[in-house]
A and B are shown apart, each in its own frame.
Chain A
Amino acid sequence: MGADVTRLLADWSQGNQGAFEQLAPAVYDELRRLAARYLSRERAGHTLQPTALVHEAFLRLIDQSRVEWQGRAHFFGVAAQMIRRILVDHARAHQAAKRGAGAAHFAIDDNFDAAAPRDLDLVALDDALGALAELDPQQSRVIELRFFGGLSIEETAAVLNVSPATVKREWAAARAWLYRELSRGAPPA
């Protein structure tokens, strides 16, 4: 398993899209399993963060001795996409359960820190990101990597193979656009 995923990752970071198709399910399953454990508070007292999640998935899936940092950046890139899917699915299920009880917001866990974006409507954000991807795929990726993947500006730049300055500019414009889109629907808190 480890060697397999490692090879796929290497292939993908060299531009092989087919490798991504094969890589994604393995990463997704692992992340979902880990997320479920975190979300069920089975491991209380530990951090719940995308990076912790991804680190753990990375350690489990990838043969450490054979991956350069570049490969790690690519892995984070895939993982950001997966985390987005997991969180949005979760929020959507929650929303369906609560339908009629007013707008449902992101609340995986009541223990969540108030400063975390619990007031953010993740389903609306996901839709808006989809619309943004139509206009500007790169901007949508920047948001995905930074917000869902928790990547730093430098890491995001490495994944997208652009300069950090570009990431900053794209981030600023995309954030303004998304904020406006979300304010038009229901005002973000």
Chain B
Amino acid sequence: MTPERWRQVKSTLQQLLDQPRAARPFLLDSLCAGDRQLRAEVESLLAADDEAGAFLEQPALEQDLTPGTRLGPWRLAEQLGRGGMGAVYRAVRDDDQFQQEVAIKVVKRGMDTVEVLERFRYERQILAFLNHPNIGRILDGGAAPDGRPYLVMELVEGIPINDYCSIHGLSIPARLDLFRRVCEAVQYAHRNLIVHRDLKPGNILINTQGEPKLLDFGIAKILVPNLPGQSATLTLNERRLTPDYASPEQVRGEPVNTASDVYSLGAVLYELLTGKRAHRFENLSAAELERVVCETEVARPSEVCAEHAPILRGDLDTIILKALHKDSSRRYLSVEQFSEDLRRWEAGLPVLARPDTLTYRARKFVARNRAGVAFAALLAIALVGGAVATAWQARVARWERDRATRWFEDGRRLANAFLIEHDALASIPGGTGLREKLMTDALRYLDAMAAEAREAPGLIEELALAYEKMGDVQGRADGPHLGDTAGSLESYRKALALREQLPRSPRTRKDLAQTHLRLAGALRIAGDFHGGILHDLKGLSIREELFAADPDNRELLRLVTASHTSLGGSFYHVADHENVLKHRTKAYELAQRLMTTGQPTGPDYRVFMLAAVRMGSVLARNGKTAEALKCYEEALTAGEEGLRRFPGHSPIRLTRATTLGARSTIRLEQGRFTEALDDLRAAIEIYQRLHNADPKDARTAFMLANAHHRMGVVETAAGQARSALKSLGIALAMRENLSGHDPANAGARAEVAVSLGALGDAQLALGQRDGATQSYRRAVALIEELELRKQANTESLGELKRVRQRLAALGL
């Protein structure tokens, strides 16, 4: 295997590892399209990843502490156990003050990051205040000689609650009594604002007197805080959390609260009463855990335990399933309430828990499928009569209204922030800094709203749109933008995450495809070409599917065309010319259909022009110059017609300039320098006008710089090296400025390097040997840096090769 090939394999593998398992086969197909060898390679690595288990996870020289080691006043005795976070030892006090046996938990190497140590100091003080007979106490703490933190805890001799119950053959009521004592202890901690986060039988020990003792309260928080942006996968891998008792929000890496402990207790009780775990996992991959914990319905306790089915059926089923509800707001409000309901059941009183009601289900249905609501309402009227249906609708409406009120407030704040401040800023010179602040504020509102939107698809949709618009302003690949690539990536990712939660309808699918394309464009700019291809492919497959279902829809035809064009560009960056040809040919075919069936719209003209230009570039690359020129002519003709019909449609103008730029390349190759320069001058004029109209639009600025660059290249070739120095100077200054303002834009850095290479040529033509050498060297350094980060595209790699040859020819 070559490094280049490995880079391709690795990138594919990493993308797949990031995805849920279920999505992998589809992605494998699209990522390895036609490349069987790549596919086999990636599949075998995925299999290796599955089997690897803890391979290499423990550092080579790491060894546990040995008995006899002293930690502060404590001397270690034997190891009691070890887990994902570290090992636990029995220890005795070693300073003759008094005989005391304790348990010492030493954090694993790798967990002792600066942040963990800080949190450790702070949390330890809080935990020391927890003083309850059923909670194991934290007595002391410190750092081992190698810097790893340790905790000294009350030594609890006991066995896990589930083992205790089976060994002693406790009856259901006896199990419930024991469990409710556990609840009391958890409730005490909750009143002190401490969440356990890792409740499981192994942390609930019962001593010889039958007293429960809870261990490790709050420890999980020290070791695994909720960090923003940290994915669930990471959390799972790093803490090797027991998935059987973890709540959906924990598995997803979302903030944890007391409701998460309610869930874990529910899972423990499920096991105590049925002898079975609430979930069954086919494997321990993060994707599988997430799928099962967050999506799979838990079977009723009475269904899995024939022995106790008669007792469990009914209220106990309902109580346990309420504690285990996927939606944390549908669980018991507190552990106390959960425990109280169990008491009521034992006393034969009516319980608080209700099975998911018709109203709830209806609401879920409304939430899932707005389009179907009207139909459902009609059905309800037909079946149950007007009065009932009206009452039902009123309840739904009230619920929606409460939420809408809050949303209105947030939305208004957001709108105010945008409209008032934004308008004011537009007239202030140098308002960019403030505008950034405004952006940050707006995003904060959006994030806050996103946290609440979980149950209301309408609102999720609005939010997704807001994020997408935000991404567009920050850095839409094919529209005006501020040149904030990093920001746009984040916004698009959020929009995508929200859109993926939405129920499927042709409209939401269409929007989802668009977001995929936007993200693809931003990824391409950021130098993640395979990521770009991946999202382009996802977008295309959705659009194709919609188009197949609605073949007369011109808008869908245009969208499919645009997708193919975009994909062609994505594949061009990774030099997959076969796929470039495939998608560009397809785009060109479809675009012709777009122009010949029905009356083209403004966007139709633009899509056609772009498809024709890109087709021309592929043909030119394959040496079919005449055919390429024909494509460019078609694009220009369509542009003229389009502008006659839609004079205000500036994308057509922009694409016209793009076409002229492309044509100049052919003319340069043909040695028709004057015509090439004419084309470029015309293109520069168009770009300059658009740039003046919207100077903050980084995209037009990029294109203007590019036209100046090409102008310089042609001038050098035409023997006008002095003019070339000027053109390339303009291009370089613009590109350096753009690149400097957008550090995440790898493409911009590559362009700076390419301009430096061209500048070197012009300098050499003028006999400026030292200047040329310097320019070439800067170009090489820039591209090498990009290559190191795997962000170099085909064009910059070609330039690297060329410039190196130049340097070699200079004897350097």
Residues on A close to B: CB < 8 A? 44-53, 55, 83-84, 87, 106, 111-113, 115-117, 120, 122, 134-136, 138-139, 143, 146-150, 152-155, 168-169, 172-173, 175-180, 183, 188
Contacts and interface: CB of A to CB of B under 8 A. Distances in A.
Contacts of B46: 176
A135 B1 contact: yes
Contacts of B7: 136
Contact of A150 (B10, B62, B113): B62
B113 A154 contact: yes
Given A173-B14, A179-B55, A136 B6 contact: yes
Contacts of B109: 49, 51, 150
Contacts of A51: 59, 109, 146-147
A117 B55 CA distance: 8
Interface of B: 1-3, 6-7, 10, 13-14, 17-18, 44-49, 51-52, 55-56, 58-69, 82, 109-114, 144-147, 234, 788
Contacts of B61: 48-50, 53, 83, 87, 116, 148, 150
A51 B1 CA distance: 35
A113 B788 CA distance: 39
Nearest to A153: B110
A116 B6 contact: no
B148 to A, nearest CB: 8
A4 B166 CA distance: 66
B63 A48 contact: yes
A57 B788 CA distance: 31
Given A115-B82, A177-B45, A50 B66 contact: no
Given A113-B64, A173-B10, A177-B48, A47 B146 contact: yes
Contact of A113 (B2, B6, B63, B67): B63
A50 B61 CA distance: 5
B110 A122 contact: no
A139 B10 CA distance: 10
A173 B17 contact: yes
B13 to A, nearest CB: 5
B49 A116 contact: no
Most B C-beta atoms less than 10 A away, residue of A51, A111, A120: A51
A10 B204 CA distance: 51
Contacts of A111: 66
Closest 3 CB pairs of A and B: A150-B59, A180-B48, A176-B49
A147 B14 contact: no
Contact of B52 (A48, A143, A150, A176): A176
A48 B66 CA distance: 10
A112 B63 contact: yes
Contact of A50 (B17, B47, B59): B59
A44 B56 contact: no
Nearest to A169: B14
Contact of B144 (A47, A173, A188): A47
Nearest to A131: B1
A179 B10 contact: no
Contacts of B112: 152
B147 to A, nearest CB: 7
Nearest to A84: B60
A113 B65 CA distance: 10
Given A51-B146, A179-B52, A183-B48, A136 B64 contact: no
Given A84-B60, A113-B64, 7 more contacts: A44-B66, A46-B145, A47-B145, A138-B788, A148-B61, A173-B14, A175-B55
A84 B61 CA distance: 10
A188 B147 contact: no
A53 B196 CA distance: 35
B59 A149 contact: yes
A128 to B, nearest CB: 11
15 contacts: A45-B66, A49-B146, A50-B59, A55-B147, A87-B61, A116-B63, A134-B3, A136-B6, A139-B10, A148-B61, A173-B14, A173-B17, A179-B49, A180-B45, A180-B47
A179 B56 CA distance: 9
A17 to B, nearest CB: 15
Contacts of B3: 134-136
A43 to B, nearest CB: 10
A55 B1 CA distance: 39
Contacts of B49: 172, 175-176, 179
Nearest to B59: A150
B45 A152 contact: no
A168 B59 contact: no
A60 to B, nearest CB: 15
B224 to A, nearest CB: 14
Given A47-B146, A53-B61, A55-B146, A173 B45 contact: yes
A178 B65 CA distance: 29
A143 B147 contact: no
**Of listed A112, A154, A175, residue having the most chain B CB within 10 A:** A175
B51 A179 contact: yes
Name, among B48, B51, B147, the residue most crowded by chain A CB atoms within 10 Å (CB to CB). B48
A149 to B, nearest CB: 7
A71 to B, nearest CB: 15
Contacts of B67: 45
Contacts of B788: 138
Given A47-B144, A51-B146, A135-B3, A147 B60 contact: yes
A47 B110 contact: no
Given A115-B82, A134-B3, A136-B6, A49 B62 contact: yes
A155 to B, nearest CB: 8
A38 to B, nearest CB: 9
Contacts of B65: 47
Contacts of A139: 10
Contact of A52 (B2, B10, B145): B145
Contacts of A179: 48-49, 51-52, 55-56
A180 B40 CA distance: 13
Contact of A152 (B44, B55, B113): B113
Contacts of B44: 180
B734 to A, nearest CB: 29
Contacts of A50: 59-62
A116 B65 CA distance: 12
Contacts of B69: 45-47
A139 B7 CA distance: 11
A172 B17 contact: yes
Nearest to A125: B56
A106 B59 CA distance: 13
Contacts of A45: 66-69
B59 A49 contact: yes
Contacts of B63: 47-49, 112-113, 116
Given A46-B69, A47-B69, A55-B147, A152 B56 contact: no
A189 B646 CA distance: 70
A93 B101 CA distance: 44
A111 B63 CA distance: 10
Contacts of A53: 61
A138 B65 CA distance: 32
A78 B398 CA distance: 65
A178 B10 contact: no
B2, B3, B63, B145, most chain A CB atoms within 10 A: B63
